[in-house]
Amino acid sequence: MDMKTAQTGFSRSEARVALGEIDLAVIGAIQGGLPLVPRPYAALAAQLGIDEAVLTERLTSLHESGVIKRMGLVVRHRELGYGANAMVVWDVPDGEVAELGRCLSKFEFVTLCYRRPRQGRDWPYNLFCMIHGQDREEVRGKVRQLVQCCGLEDIAHSVLFSRRRFKQRGAHYRNAAEREPVTP
Partner 1 sequence: MDHRSELTDLERRLLDSYQQGLPLSPTPYADMAAALDVSEADVLAALQRLQEFGVISRVGPVFRTHAVGASTLAAMAVPEERLDEIAAIVNSFAAVNHNYEREHRFNLWFVATAASDAELAEVLEKIEQLTNIKVMPLPMLEDYHIDLGFNLQWT
Residues 122-151 that bind partner 1 (CB under 8 A): 122-123, 128-129, 132
Q: Which C-beta is closer to partner 1: that of 76 or that of 144?
A: 76
Provide the mask over 1-20, with x wherever binding to partner 1 is found by CB under 8 A and - wherever it is not: x-x-xxx-xxxxxx-xx-x-
CB of residue 149 vs partner 1: minimum separation in angstroms? 15
Q: Which C-beta is closer to partner 1: that of 93 or that of 176?
A: 176
Number of C-beta neighbours around residue 40 at 10 A:
14
What Å distances lie between residue 160 and 41, 89, 117, 125, 140, CA to CA? 40, 8, 17, 12, 11
Number of C-beta neighbours around residue 133 at 10 A:
20
Provide the mask over 61-100, with x wherever binding to partner 1 is found by CB under 8 A and - wherever it is not: -xx--xxxxxxxxxxxxxxxx-x---x---------xx--
Q: Which C-beta is closer to partner 1: that of 61 or that of 147?
A: 61
Q: Under a CB-based contact definition with an 8 Å cutoff, are residues 83 and 134 in contact?
A: yes
Q: How many residues bind partner 1 (CB under 8 A)?
A: 97
Q: Under a CB-based contact definition with an 8 Å cutoff, are residues 92 and 98 in contact?
A: no
**Nearest by Cα to 157 from 94, 89, 106, 101:** 89
54 binds partner 1 (CB under 8 A): no
